[in-house]
């Protein structure tokens, strides 16, 4: 296989498989592509047995000399003083209304071609969602060629499906999935100058994803990742094959820090599904759930069950890859604090700065339920606090945080990281001497929570039992968000 940035050899219409470099030059050429995205060979769709099959789509060769003319795609950053948050965006549904491109008029530079699909559509494609899908080549004597499609044409629509914002992988899969013999209608526009700049600038796909499963790389040029990491995907047909994406890891302050290969969406969904359906051990989450159900007769035991379950891994509602974009939140986000003194922190913020913070009260799950039992915080309660221009302080579990993210409330999650069991005991004796909570259990739960749910944390503050510097750090961390 090739590195994330190695350039491919020129494509050939008569061959529909990627050209492989010699063994002697593999390592140097792999490393050469680490810093620059290269062109890819013919995309190959993998069957279940992983045997490559040729298809009709391939990107055009790209010049060795880089002459970038298009700007590097960047996330949209919030204005100074406004909170930043990665918000999900819905992928295009793809179906266009009858009147599509502006006024629906077929301009002189446009062409509407119709033909029946043979063994393949006979097109090679370049570009991506960031610049559009372009014809990089047409198979000689194919129906597409006979109808006038040529290199440099931008494909605007295929059978009433919009191609203007589609990623290249989706374009390939759509053409592959068209049945043999089906009539194909393509609306295209001649844009050779734009196409030439795209090829010279090595641009195509560009979008952001957040991961919701853990992955260990399978090759030297792959990228391992944990839950909650953000990547910019720049090539959805790495090496011209379906199955892998070329992506750039996003680090602190939204900086691009590392380039490599990650599974494509379909493979990611399969891997995540296996990860979330692995059988639980005898003492696992499900056993704990049923064990804790039997503790409802006691308020103390109910609280214990809730706190223990809060340290368990989250079963997320999100897909393996969540499409995100950096935006302003537009509201004061709720705040969730985890750690051995989270209860102290919430009370202190609400008491000392009531104009900024307010604790969101919980309600019984059902009418007539014992008011003393563990309840839920309703979304309208959170909204009422936000409407007062305050941060809602939430005492919720990690699973609730994940559901809040799914509902696009994006809480600020602060983890107060304890230094030791004795440190927890010292701090609680100083801050809340009337509390009867076990310092040992609080420390152990914090350790489990950090291990299983660190991907939910917006920021982590290390506690020092010798002082209360954590409080100023907490307020500053919230203000920075």
What is the length of the chain?
481
Q: How confident is the model at residue 54 (pLDDT cuts 50, 70, 90)?
A: very low
Among residues of the chain, what percentage have pLDDT more than 90?
A: 46
Q: What is the CA radius of gyration of the chain?
A: 27
Sequence-ordered list of residues with C-beta below 8 angstroms from that of 28, at least 6 positions apart, any chain: none
Instruction: Give the HSE-up count for residue 296: Cα atoms under 13 Å, Cβ half-sphere.
Output: 9
pLDDT given at position 264: 94
Tens digit of each residue's pLDDT (9 = 90 or more) over 313-357? 666 778 999 998 887 778 899 999 999 999 999 999 999 999 999
Tens digit of each residue's pLDDT (9 = 90 or more) over 179-221? 999 999 999 999 999 999 988 888 899 999 999 999 999 889 9
Instruction: Give the HSE-up count for residue 405: Cα atoms under 13 Å, Cβ half-sphere.
Output: 29
Asked if the model's pLDDT at residue 40 lies above 50, the reply is no
For residue 412, tell me if it sits in a domain: yes
Tens digit of each residue's pLDDT (9 = 90 or more) over 419-459? 999 999 999 999 999 988 999 999 999 999 998 888 889 99
CA neighbor of 461 nearest in space, from 481, 445, 444, 475: 475
**Domain range for 377:** 312-480
CA angle 296, 302, 307 (to 5 degrees): 145
Q: Enter the pTM of the model.
A: 0.66
Supply the DSSP symbol for 110: E
CATH number of the domain to which 333 belongs: 3.40.50.300
For residue 301, tell me if it sits in a domain: no
Count of H-run helices and E-run strands, the chain: 13, 19
Sequence-ordered list of residues with C-beta below 8 angstroms from that of 84, at least 6 positions apart, any chain: 77, 78, 326, 327, 328, 329, 481
Domains identified in the chain, total number: 1
Q: How confident is the model at residue 39 (pLDDT cuts 50, 70, 90)?
A: very low
Write the CA distances from 32 to 1, 5, 19, 25, 351, integer angstroms. 14, 7, 17, 11, 58
Instruction: Work out the end-to-end distance of the chain between its first and last CA atoms, rounded to an integer number of angstroms.
Output: 41
For residue 147, tell me if it sits in a domain: no
* C-alpha to C-alpha distance for 8 and 4, rounded to whole angstroms: 11
For residue 40, tell me if it sits in a domain: no
* C-alpha to C-alpha distance for 403 and 456, rounded to whole angstroms: 11
* Neighbour count for residue 353 (Cβ, 10 Å): 13
pLDDT given at position 3: 55
For residue 143, tell me if it sits in a domain: no
For residue 218, tell me if it sits in a domain: no
Asked if the model's pLDDT at residue 415 lies above 80, the reply is yes
Task: Give the mean pLDDT of the chain.
Answer: 75
């Amino acid at each position: 296989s090739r590195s994330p940035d190695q350039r491919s050899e020129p494509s050939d219409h008569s061959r529909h498989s990627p050209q492989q470099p010699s063994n002697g030059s593999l390592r140097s050429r792999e490393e050469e592509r680490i810093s620059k995205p290269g062109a890819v060979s013919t995309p190959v769709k993998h069957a279940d047995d992983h045997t490559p099959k040729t298809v009709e789509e391939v990107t055009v060769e790209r010049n060795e000399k880089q002459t970038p003319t298009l700007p590097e795609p960047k996330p949209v950053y919030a204005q100074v003083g406004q909170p930043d948050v990665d918000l999900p965006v819905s992928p295009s549904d793809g179906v266009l209304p009858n009147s599509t491109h502006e006024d629906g008029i077929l301009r002189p530079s446009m062409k509407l071609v119709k033909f029946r699909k043979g063994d393949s559509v006979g097109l090679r494609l370049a570009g991506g969602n960031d610049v559009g899908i372009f014809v990089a080549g047409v198979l000689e004597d194919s129906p597409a060629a006979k109808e006038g499609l040529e290199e440099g044409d931008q494909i605007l629509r295929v059978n009433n499906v919009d191609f203007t914002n589609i990623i290249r992988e989706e374009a390939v899969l759509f053409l592959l999935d068209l049945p043999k013999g089906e009539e194909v209608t393509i609306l295209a526009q001649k844009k050779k100058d734009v196409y030439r700049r795209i090829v010279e600038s090595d641009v195509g796909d560009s979008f952001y994803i957040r991961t919701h499963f853990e992955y260990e790389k399978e090759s030297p040029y792959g990228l391992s990742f944990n839950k909650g990491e953000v990547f910019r995907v720049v090539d959805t047909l790495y090496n011209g094959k379906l199955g892998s994406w070329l992506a750039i890891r996003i680090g602190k302050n939204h900086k691009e820090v590392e380039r490599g290969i990650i599974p494509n969406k379909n493979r990611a969904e399969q891997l995540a599904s296996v990860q979330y359906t692995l059988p639980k051990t005898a003492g696992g989450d499900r056993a704990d759930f049923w064990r804790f159900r039997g503790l409802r007769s006691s308020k103390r035991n109910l609280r214990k069950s809730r706190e223990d379950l809060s340290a368990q891994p989250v079963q997320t509602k999100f897909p393996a890859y969540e499409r995100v974009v950096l935006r302003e939140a537009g509201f004061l986000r709720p705040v969730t604090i985890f750690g051995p003194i989270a209860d102290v922190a919430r009370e202190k913020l609400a008491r000392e700065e009531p104009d900024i913070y307010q604790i969101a009260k919980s309600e019984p799950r059902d009418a007539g339920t014992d008011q003393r039992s563990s309840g839920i915080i309703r979304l309208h309660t959170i909204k009422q606090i936000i409407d007062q221009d305050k941060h809602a302080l939430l005492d919720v579990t990690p699973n609730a945080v994940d559901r809040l993210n799914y509902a696009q409330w994006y809480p600020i999650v602060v983890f107060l990281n304890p230094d030791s069991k004795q440190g927890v005991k010292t701090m609680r004796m100083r801050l809340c001497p009337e509390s009867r909570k076990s310092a040992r259990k609080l420390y152990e739960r914090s350790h489990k929570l950090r291990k299983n749910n660190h991907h939910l944390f917006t920021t982590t503050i290390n506690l020092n039992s010798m002082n209360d510097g954590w409080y100023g750090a907490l307020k500053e961390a919230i203000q920075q968000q």
